[in-house]
Amino acid sequence: MELYSLTAHELLEKLGKKEISVEGLCSSVRNRIEDTDSKVKAYVRLAGSPAVVNPKAINNGSLSGIPVSIKDNICTEGYNTECCSRILAGFKPPYDATVIRKLKDAGAIILESKTNMDEFAFGSSTENSCFGPTHNPWNLDCVPGGSSGGSAACVAADEAIIAIGSDTGGSIRQPAAFCGVVGLKPTYGRVSRYGLIAFASSLDQIGTFTKDIEDSCLLMQVISGHDPMDATSADLKIPDYTRSLGQDIRGLKIGIPKEYFIEGMNREVKTIVQEAIAKLKDLGAVIKEVSLPHTQYAVAVYYILGTAEASSNLARFDGVQYGFRAKASKLIEMYFKTRGQGFGQEAKRRILLGTFALSHGYYDAYYLKALKVRTLIKNDFDAVFQDCDCIITPTAPTPAFRIGEKSEEPLQMYLSDIYTISANLAGIPAISLPCGFVKNGLPVGLQILTKPFAEETLFQLGHAYERSTPWHKMKPKL
């Protein structure tokens, strides 16, 4: 059994018993990346040199000796963090994100080579990366999902033990579903955003990619918690997430929203997800149909609020202090050319859309209205959670699509986020775990959503499901 194919909890046990060494583990991961990444392209800026997996100072922390792969939008001091955008070419942050500091304190080994993503997290396929797309390990002609496609793919391909990414409208869960791994978006405010290069400040969260539920628990235990540097982080105690493992789910009430199972949805996805729900019923959960009546507006609300905040957050990329600067003799020219040449097409689309939504005369009709509909969407979930412990849906309307299939149709691309977006708008936690495969071998993801700060429910339910299914043990042939 290759070390790179194990989970973090398995490796921690072996490390603890001194059956393996940290150097050996790092070496195994490094070699795997070297063998596989030319096909998958989960990592960026490798340029023929080996991925940097340095076993630096190890301590007695809970993740001691475990390599963690990081999405290219999370700041690591002294190591390139570029959001896969030309405009941040060469940027080395002068500080660590809070989650990076926490991971280091727990003894984890931070890979200096970052994982691929859609530029500034704008996308659902990782095709918007300035470095080119990542390839789905289950079918290299297909996208891994996005925007954290690199993080999802490297865990699926065993090019990483565990990884972190970010989720603003589904950017962890959708690629997790497409790549057959476990992807968790925590409650808004559960994990510090300090050091996450912002896309939409009121929607972004850093989350986990793991091979199974237990690893997600371990990772969440480390990265969660109040941060005085992030005014939007919740000052709440972190429960011991591992207590959720091995629990039975008898009596757990699961709501199935009718708006997510519509006529004309992908039949295979529908069948597989319904089978998963049936399995949960066998395990003792109580299933009931519920309604989230404002679901239809979620994508529209997201593409106003998200793009508006993005247009603001990306205003700082102007060539003055860091990143790419276009040649210009006057300041105003420098701004226009730097941003015109530095941003990719999707980034431009979103900045323009967002700027428009905030501009004089349109603010009320777009931004303000979207803020109000957001309240309606949140209220929908509050109502359902009155009598349900959680909600289950498919993570994505289809399995992974082919590279290039949707890249010319921005709106089509946006609609693939339809199941994941609402959780960000409502600020609730959500997880995607593998629940089967379609005929052509591509994975399907099951999404579980629950009340704010109740991640333990996700772990409890997810782990019970995982224990009685084989999906998390299946690996792509690479």
Partner 1 sequence: MTYEPVIGLEVHVQLKTRTKIFCGCLTEFGAAPNTQVCPVCLGFPGALPVLNRLALEYAIKVGIALNCTVQEFTKFDRKHYYYPDLPKNFQISQYDLPICKNGFLDVEVNGLTRPIKILRAHLEEDAGKLIHEEDHSLVDLNRTGQPLLEIVTEPDIYSPEEAYEYLTNLKSIIQYLEVSDCDMEKGTLRCDANISLRPKGSGQLGTKSEIKNLNSFKAVRDALAYEIERHNQILNNQEKIIQETRLWDEKKGRTFPMRSKEEAKDYRYFPEPDLPPFMISKEKIAEIKKIIPELPKEKKLRFMRDYGLSEYDARILVMTREKAGYAQERLMAYPEKEKKSVANWINGPLAAIAAKLNCEINEIKISVKDFIDLIDLVENKQVINNLTGKEILEQMARTGKSPHNLIQEGNLSQISDEASLEKEISAVILANPKVVADVLSGKPNSIMFLVGQVMRQTQGKANPKVVQEILKRRIV
Partner 2 sequence: MALSRETLKYVADLSRIELTPQELEKLSLQLQTILGFIDQLSKADIAGIEPTSHILPLSNVLREDTPRESLSIEKTLANAPQKKDNFFVVPKVIE
Residues 143 and 137: beta-carbon distance below 8 Å: no
**3-class DSSP state of 414:** helix
Backbone φ, ψ for residue 255 (5° rounding): -95, 135
94 is a site residue for partner 2 (CB under 8 A): yes
171 given a catalytic annotation = yes
Part of the chain binding partner 1 (CB under 8 A), chosen from 156-164, 318-326, 344-352, 378-386: 318-326
What does the alpha-carbon distance between residue 99 and residue 195 come to, in Å, rounded to a whole number?
8
Q: Among residues 322, 405, 438, 478, which is the contact residue for partner 2, using CB under 8 A?
A: 322
Looking at the Cβ atoms of 331 and 376, the one nearer to partner 1 is: 331
Looking at the Cβ atoms of 21 and 202, the one nearer to partner 2 is: 202
Part of the chain binding partner 2 (CB under 8 A), chosen from 53-61, 114-122, 280-288, 369-377: 369-377
Looking at the Cβ atoms of 212 and 346, the one nearer to partner 1 is: 346
237 is a site residue for partner 2 (CB under 8 A): no
Q: State how far the alpha carbon of 141 is from the alpha carbons of 134, 360, 414, in Å.
A: 10, 44, 21
71 given a catalytic annotation = yes
Which partner in partner 1, partner 2, none is near 251 (CB below 5 to 8 A by kind)?
none
Contacts of 163 (CB under 8 A, 6+ apart): 68, 69, 70, 71, 115, 151, 152, 154, 155, 208, 209, 210
Sign, CA torsion 83/92/184/193? negative
- How is residue 119 written in tokens? 């530029």
Binding mask 155-184 for partner 1 (x = CB under 8 A): ------------------------------
Which partner in partner 2, partner 1, none is near 194 (CB below 5 to 8 A by kind)?
partner 1
Q: State how far the alpha carbon of 314 is from the alpha carbons of 156, 223, 348, 358, in Å.
A: 31, 25, 10, 14
374 is a site residue for partner 1 (CB under 8 A): no
178 is a site residue for partner 2 (CB under 8 A): no
Which partner in partner 2, partner 1, none is near 198 (CB below 5 to 8 A by kind)?
partner 1
185 is a site residue for partner 2 (CB under 8 A): no
What minimum distance in Å lies between the beta carbon of 365 and partner 1? 14
Residues 285 and 277: beta-carbon distance below 8 Å: no
**3-class DSSP state of 354:** helix
261 is a site residue for partner 1 (CB under 8 A): no
Closest CA to 119 of 422, 291, 349, 325: 349
Size of the site for partner 2 (CB under 8 A): 71
Selected catalytic residue, list 41, 71, 114, 211:
71
Site for partner 2 in 117-146 (CB under 8 A): none
Binding mask 269-308 for partner 1 (x = CB under 8 A): ---------------------------------------x
451 is a site residue for partner 2 (CB under 8 A): no
Q: How many CB atoms lie within 10 A of CB 404?
A: 12
What does the alpha-carbon distance between residue 53 and residue 228 come to, in Å, rounded to a whole number?
30
Binding mask 417-456 for partner 1 (x = CB under 8 A): ----------------------------------------
Backbone φ, ψ for residue 463 (5° rounding): -70, -40
404 is a site residue for partner 2 (CB under 8 A): no
Size of the site for partner 1 (CB under 8 A): 43
The tally of CA atoms less than 13 A away on the side-chain side of residue 318 is 11
Q: Among residues 15, 301, 384, 433, which is the contact residue for partner 2, using CB under 8 A?
A: 301
What does the alpha-carbon distance between residue 221 and residue 205 come to, in Å, rounded to a whole number?
15
Part of the chain binding partner 1 (CB under 8 A), chosen from 7-15, 61-69, 355-363, 435-443: 355-363
270 given a catalytic annotation = no
Looking at the Cβ atoms of 234 and 392, the one nearer to partner 2 is: 234
Helix (H) or strand (E) holding 156: helix 149-156
- How is residue 265 written in tokens? 């949805």
User: 């970010």: which residue's tokens?
Assistant: 166
Backbone φ, ψ for residue 174 (5° rounding): -65, -50
228 is a site residue for partner 2 (CB under 8 A): yes
Binding mask 202-231 for partner 1 (x = CB under 8 A): x-------------------------xxxx
Cβ burial, residue 373 (10 Å; 0-12/13-18/19+) = middle
Closest CA to 310 of 182, 162, 203, 439: 203
Q: Among residues 48, 94, 251, 470, which is the contact residue for partner 1, using CB under 8 A?
A: 94
The size of the chain, in residues, is 478
What minimum distance in Å lies between the beta carbon of 340 and partner 1? 14
What does the alpha-carbon distance between residue 431 and residue 213 come to, in Å, rounded to a whole number?
10
What does the alpha-carbon distance between residue 367 and residue 308 come to, in Å, rounded to a whole number?
8
10 is a site residue for partner 1 (CB under 8 A): no
Looking at the Cβ atoms of 322 and 437, the one nearer to partner 2 is: 322
Helix (H) or strand (E) holding 150: helix 149-156
Q: Which residues are catalytic?
A: 71, 147, 171
* Residues at the interface with partner 1 (CB under 8 A): 74-75, 81, 83, 88, 91, 93-95, 97, 193-198, 200-202, 228-232, 308-309, 312, 315-318, 320-322, 329, 331, 335, 355, 358-360, 363, 367
